[in-house]
Amino acid sequence: MPHHADNRNGGSPPAGPGHRVRSACRAMLRVLAVPVLLATPAGAEFYSAADMARVADRAIPSLRAALQDGIIAHMPRDQRPLADGISLAFPERGPHPMAFFSDPATGTIYMPLESIRFFDDIATLTAWFHGRGCSQDHVHSYLWSLLRKGRAMPSPLRAFALDRDALLADPYTNSLSDRFYSSGLLFILAHETGHLVLRHRAGLTAAASQAQEIAADDFATRHFTSVGTMPMGVLIYYLAAWWRDPEGRAAATGTHPVSAARIRALARHMLDDPAAFSHAEADAGPVAQQRVRDVAGLLNGIADSIAEDGMLSLMPRSLDRDYPASRFPSACPAD
């Protein structure tokens, strides 16, 4: 599986991860948006060239191995020829911070270094806030401002005046963020592989695009059942993707519309066979299976929230009023 884009500390997972992860993810269910889709400000650069070099050194080898030795190697033998010619490209930056996409014309999956680091930072931020008992609404306000409103924002940890090394020195933050990041990035990679293996087309809209997304999710889901773990990081990915495109309008590249049906499809797979998503866990058995059910319940909760009538017409004044960017540095400070 892919390892973190920057150096991580070791250590055992904290006690009672299921309960704490359930609490962390419940806080992610508030999803507010406005009805005008805006792009991230052009030219915004979150990370330095040195940051990008560190991401490249650590992430590229593990992602290449995950594609060939993980995803493709776990496909049924008779289907593996369908993956012939798939390649990975790692541009420094994409059109926005969540710009993971594939090009069916060339069989290339694009994983921008900036997007990898951004996803890692959000996973770290989410884990830190939960471990400290801080309100996740500040993180939601950041993502809403950046991905939905298109405001010029610093990178996630800079926006909250937090030092990455200091956060990762905390064993709980290090462990939980690693699970979010690693499983989320692997799900994205498997999802994009699914698009190419299934010969999907780019630039579709509405129902046709949503159907392709569900099919690619199903492909990724089969990978996770084959390796016996669950894609916990998909909770962060789905919310970020929904903030980016809540109306489900697919673009030629870099957009993956999220619908309630798409989220519920994954939750249904997890609820139907929780053992398949947990047989490789250290605590495989009833405890791990219940953790799968808990995360599936959270996915259904997210689906219910985004399917709520009038959700897109809700004005997010409360985010600006109660969780403004000016308060980010004091929202969850390190000691």
Q: What is the pLDDT of residue 92?
A: 94
Q: What confidence score (pLDDT) does residue 25 get?
A: 41
| Helix %, strand %, coil % of the chain (to 5) | 60, 5, 35
Which of the two residues, 170 and 205, has the higher pLDDT score?
A: 170
More confident residue, 250 or 293: 293
Nearest-angstrom CA–CA distance, 105 and 149: 32
Amino acid identity of 204? L
Q: Which residues does 326 contact at the CB level (< 8 Å), separation at least 6?
A: none
pLDDT tens digits along 69-83: 999 999 999 999 999
Mean pLDDT of 286-290: 96
Residue 89, H or E segment: strand 87-89
Q: How many CB atoms lie within 10 A of CB 176?
A: 25
Residue ranges of domains in the chain: 17-330
CA gap 126, 289 in Å, rounded: 23
Mean of the pLDDT values across residues 221-228?
95
Instruction: Give mean pLDDT, residues 77-93.
Output: 94
Give the global pTM: 0.86
Q: Mean of the pLDDT values across residues 31-40?
A: 34
pLDDT of 24 over the 50 cut: no
Q: Which residue has the higher pLDDT, 144 or 296?
A: 296
Q: Which amino acid is at 179?
A: R
pLDDT band, residue 335 (cuts 50/70/90)? confident
Report d(CA 101, CA 109) in Å as an integer. 6
For residue 19, CA distances in Å to 137, 170, 316, 323 come to: 19, 18, 30, 26
Q: Is 309 exposed, middle or buried (0-12, 13-18, 19+ CB in 10 A)?
A: exposed
What percent of the chain is modeled with pLDDT above 90?
A: 62
In the predicted model, is pLDDT for residue 57 greater than 80? yes
Instruction: Please check the confidence at residue 2 and state whether its pLDDT lies above 80.
Output: no
The predicted-structure confidence for 62-71, as pLDDT tens digits, reads as follows 999 999 999 9
Structure confidence at residue 29 (pLDDT): 38
The pLDDT mean for the chain works out to 84
**Is 30's pLDDT higher than 80?**
no
